[in-house]
Amino acid sequence: MSLFSLDTLVQLPHKEIFIDENETQRDLKKRAIRLSKTKKLIWPLIDLHSDLEKQYWSSYHCCRELKQEGNYLSSKYCNKRWCFECNAIRAAKMINGYMPIFRDFKNKQFVTLTRPNVPEDQLNNEVRSLVKDFQLCVRYLRERKKIDLKGLRKIEVTFNWQLASFHPHIHVIIDTLSNARALVDEWLFRNKTASPDAQNIRVADEGSAIELFKYATKSVVEKDMSCYALDVIFRAISGIRIYQPFGIKKYVSEDVKELVRQAYGMLEPTEYKIWRFNDELLDWFSIYDESLIKKNSFSNSS
């Protein structure tokens, strides 16, 4: 099971993670693919020379240099929402932290709260207004209606290329159907332009809960998204907390930097070695031109 697969981090949420011999090569290959996908995503974004240019460059350097000490590999993470490597870690952390809580909900529901699409020049304010309105809904229901809401909200933004407009919306996992209905009713009361038909409540099974965390920024995986639209979205959600729990004590940071190093059982221990990523070969190489992935593939077969 791969280090950054959801299941592995759910089982092993510690700062030092051990990868056994059977999984070392597979894990390294998956990491290499994620680095390649991130580069393909950010290269056109860098060319836009937007306010996020330096941050896009930081993602280019994410995990491209691995430091080996003994059989441990450590690297620096960019911690950006468009990085496939960091998103894999982030999603697994969220699942590990919140899924046990969701399983205790008696009748958990998946709620979608929306308002009409907005043009580019309104997106920044709309995202912040959306988050504020949600907080007001929860506070009112808890303080005035004495409804004990429990759950987690996620902000998400999609792009409609036909209308050239953006659709920020909120997804919520909430504890009961009655609380879900109360939340939607309050949302519609506060947002007169929102269509009742556009709001949605459905039973939240384990699959839908996992999907909530699978991509911290869903737009990263939308194939029809232009790089310009992506940059607009990334700038709009900059500084916004994507996930926010309410009524539950558990809080899991979106930060991935706490995952410091991993022990690979198949690695040949060495006192100190640097491995640098090669984009064409999708592998890390030492100064002696040793291949990290192929080297461990050979070790496995010997």
pLDDT for position 218: 56
The answer to whether 8 and 1 are in contact (CB under 8 A) is: yes
pLDDT for position 222: 57
What is the model's pTM?
Answer: 0.85
pLDDT for position 171: 95
Question: How far, in Å, CA of 207 to CA of 99, rounded?
Answer: 11
Question: How far, in Å, CA of 187 to CA of 201, rounded?
Answer: 13
Q: What is the CA radius of gyration of the chain?
A: 21
Give pLDDT tens digits along the chain (302 positions).
333 333 333 333 445 555 555 577 788 899 999 999 999 999 999 999 999 999 999 999 999 999 999 888 888 899 998 999 998 888 888 888 899 999 999 899 999 999 999 999 999 999 999 999 999 999 999 999 999 999 999 999 989 888 889 999 999 999 999 999 999 999 999 999 999 999 999 999 888 878 888 755 555 555 567 899 999 999 999 999 999 999 998 778 888 765 556 777 677 888 899 999 999 999 999 999 999 987 755 444 43
The amino acid present at 124, given as its one-letter code, is: N
The amino acid present at 36, given as its one-letter code, is: S
Question: How far, in Å, CA of 100 to CA of 250, rounded?
Answer: 10
The answer to whether 235 and 121 are in contact (CB under 8 A) is: no
Tokens read off for 221: 């995986």
Answer positive or negative: Cα dihedral of 140, 101, 154, 187.
negative
Question: How far, in Å, CA of 277 to CA of 281, rounded?
Answer: 9
Number of residues assigned to the chain: 302
